[in-house]
Amino acid sequence: MNCNAILPHCKRYLTGNPCTGKDGYRDFVITTLPNLRILDGQEIEKSERILARQRYDEIRARFLNDREIKLSEEPKNEKEVANEPDEVE
């Protein structure tokens, strides 16, 4: 989506969203949405965008790893449990 085509100044407010507590969220959002001009009421400077891009791969890998850990810790649904073979001792 090209924010500039829709709005003269593309801005997003994520304040209050649980993702804002994750280390690196701002850099991740800035890099993921390159046309974003203001995030949480704070203008994104060119230098901040460059630094965010430099850290993006590391942050993305950490977010994906955190997601995999969370998914592996979630309880299985009833259908998955029903299809598991019984343990044999």
**Model confidence at 28, in pLDDT bands (50, 70, 90)?**
very high
| Mean pLDDT, residues 49-64 taken together | 96
Residue 83 pLDDT exceeds 70: no
Which of these ranges, 1-5, 9-13, 73-77, has the smallest mean pLDDT?
A: 1-5
65/4: higher pLDDT: 65
**What was the pLDDT predicted at 84?**
61
Domain ranges of the chain: 3-67
Residue with tokens 């969220």: 25
